[in-house]
Structure 1
Amino acid sequence: MRFRAIPLLLPPLLWLSTPAPAETINPKMEYRTCLTLARAKPEEGWEEAIAWSSLGGGEPARHCAAVALIGLGKYEEAAKRLETLAGQSRREEPLRAEMLAQAGQAWLLAGKPEQALADQDTALKLVPGHPELMLDKAVTLASVNHYAEVVELLSALLKVQPNRIEAMVLRAVAYRYLEKLELAKEDLSRALILDQTFPDALLERGMIRRLEENNAGAREDWMKAIAAAPESTAADTARRNLEMMDVKVK
């Protein structure tokens, strides 16, 4: 299970003016539907979760409501609800780990990485070695500048998934902060062989080229990152870097 992925894109349940009894709802389908809606349209997902809860939706409805709260920017409330659900749930360990992973993401969005790490560590005890959780934890560790730990964690992940581009790029970022530019460049080279338009890899290679005073190369990479994904965070960062570089050149 990829924790951050949406299982299926299904149309939202159409509620009748007279609600149907809870037992007429297909629980598995409604669970997928509600989570999909909570991620794509959190306000509607929240309403769906509350309506489903009133029809006896139980834990799945509460899970959906908590996910919707993340989209609504209520990060701490979402994290607390997800932690409570994971602690009370008697469902299979992967689902409880998913709840904790989502709680960790919410804590990180709330600017509380220590709480995020605690939830991610607990989730990894439930499903040891899960690549998605390892990547989540690496992102959190990077946010608090624990770059040596990022390298260690992602090196273990890449042994299991050697072609995981996100892990290669994040490890390259960590190597750059650790002033190990040759190792960073090796990771980026491998990542860009797998996907020559991966925006985060292009952004990071531009960073390294800029450090090496290869301004033409940095500009080329950042322009490629913008062209590859104009609305992405990588593109926004590339634009800012280009602006700063142009100011310094002038």
Structure 2
Amino acid sequence: MQLAAIVAVVFIAKGAIAEPFYVPSGSMEPTLLIGDALLASKYPYGYGAASLPIQITLPETGRLFGETPKRGDVVVFRWPGDRSQAWVKRVVGLPGDRIQLRQGQLFINDHAATLKPDGVDQAEDDRGNTERAYRFVETLPNGVSHAIFKMRDNGRLDNTPEVTVPPGKLFVLGDNRDNSADSRVLVRDGGVGLLPIDNLIGRADAVVGSWDLGMRSQPVWTWLSGFRLARFFTSVR
């Protein structure tokens, strides 16, 4: 009976409060690293079919409680191309916003997000290799700042047509701008397209653990050195 009660509490908590997720790609570097374990809070955006802890058939539209995400929020969501997959990106455009990238710079309603150089680092490129990347601090027009990576000028996604975000949708980007299939890429081409708000699972609030997946190719006795202890229990910004 006690075990059943514990299982019920865990199940309810997972469904209503928060849920863990793992970062499988480098599309959100440098904010999130491959091998990070995220905790996504579900209550900020309310509850819908996408945020349930199990996959059951329910109407995909409509949410209970919660608010619309804010620009700059890092969100976990069901990929529109396959709702069994959970992806993570950053919200930059809300319903009614006009979004465009011009030579790699983000514009929201014709207001430019500022970019401040912040050194050089290494990032995952679109082939899964490591490449030198320029780090910038991007500040959105609403004052939210976060780090992004740029590996090259005039990348294939650096210039986009202006898009007006329709009702019920969001425009999301990866922080690793040259290696992210996000709202700049249509779903049929492997991207997110304009993300339905109903696909949201929750807000990525914390990294609760992190392990360098590259250690899997090393001897087992060295695996402990792969834990990135400095990232444990850190907030996502």
TM-score class, shorter-chain normalisation, is under 0.3
The structure with higher relative contact order (CA 8 Å, sep 6+) is 2
Using the size of structure 2 for normalisation, the TM-score is: 0.25
Which has the larger strand fraction? 2
Of Structure 1 and Structure 2, the greater helix share is in: 1
The TM-score with structure 1 as length reference comes to: 0.24
